[in-house]
Amino acid sequence: MAEITMIEAIRQAMDEELARDENVFIVGEDVGQRGGVFRATVGLFDKYGGERVIDSPLAEASIVGVGIGAALYGMRPICEIQFADFIHPAFNQIINEAAKMCYRSNGDWTVPMVIRAPYGGGIGGGLYHSQSLEALFTHTPGLKVVVPSSPYDAKGLLKSAVRDPNPVLYFEPKKGYRLIKGEVPEGEYTVPIGPANVTRAGSDLTVFSYGMMHHYTLQAAETVAKEGIDVEVVDLRTLYPVDRDTILKSVRKTGKALIVHEDNLTGGYGGEIAAIIAEGAFSDLDAPVRRLAGPDVPAVPFSHPMQDWFMLNPAKIAEAIRQLARY
């Protein structure tokens, strides 16, 4: 197995799916000859041509609308939103059309499409290039919401998303594009959408996270392990539908739960995980469920010191683990 970056794993997945199925195509801003703003599609235009790797105008509603229409006619579009922050103009298309098409047609029409969106802060992007918007979509039945945390999962989950008969929101932690590296098999494989993954077994408490925060959580777990705190780490991977069984099994084992995400605290996805634990494992808890998340301010500041204040990191996560362990 070769060690590659997350962005390379994403590119491999798209390359393999384009080669496997002639109905797969990519559409988005600068995805063609330029290879995308993050170079996710580098080389694919030259390999597959402009009819399958399509540069779009700066019009997210049109990117998604084209994808929905093509999917209804049997194609399998991969729609790239350049930054997740720009997905709002396509909100109506995603929520009222893509998510509801199968339901409103009594299963006659399906929308097999993927919407890729780089999300998250920590790159100096300021207000409009740093947002975490996953919670806006996990409230919508008819969608699947996926967030990979490793190159292995990034490739396997994206291939599963392309083959899924439902619309899949595929949020990519852009800070980890080149920072997170891992081994990826050269042969064919997929990672199923739905199951969470226990990436570190432990006995004292459980930390639930996803995306870049999962990468930081693993680092924090190793730090506190030297202090005698044995942390179990669960990578949620799929936010909707969420893996309730793995969540409850882990909490029943450790008795304590910390939920980590970089989105704002209030209304953030961590509240859903906390509710699942409260409803299904309340009597197993030895401490209140804790959440560690971004502060309730409108967006990640552009100022680098203020960005550091806003963003979580391994040290902040380690301190939250210590506090929960002492309870």
CA max distance for the chain: 59
Tell me the β-bridge partners of 144: 168
CB atoms within 10 A of CB 165: 12
Spatial separation of the C-alpha atoms in residues 111 and 37, rounded to whole Å: 26
> Both tokens of residue 287?
């401490």
- Torsions phi, psi of 10, nearest 5? -65, -45
Spatial separation of the C-alpha atoms in residues 303 and 99, rounded to whole Å: 37
> Both tokens of residue 18?
């384009």
Spatial separation of the C-alpha atoms in residues 193 and 160, rounded to whole Å: 7
What number of residues does the chain have? 327
Contact 17, 161 (CB under 8 A): no
In 164-227, where do the E strands start and end?
A: 168-173, 181-184, 197-200, 205-209
Identify the residue whose tokens are 């990468």: 215
> Which residue of the set 129, 214, 215, 261 is catalytic?
129
> Both tokens of residue 246?
């793995």
> What sign has the CA pseudo-torsion 221, 194, 239, 129?
positive
Identify the residue whose tokens are 């300021």: 126
Contact 142, 167 (CB under 8 A): yes
* Residue 129 annotated in active site: yes
**Per-residue exposure over 10-31, b if at least 16 CB sit within 10 Å of its own CB, e if not:** bbbbbebbbeeeebbbbbbbbb
What is the amino acid identity at position 186? E
Active site residues per annotation: 129
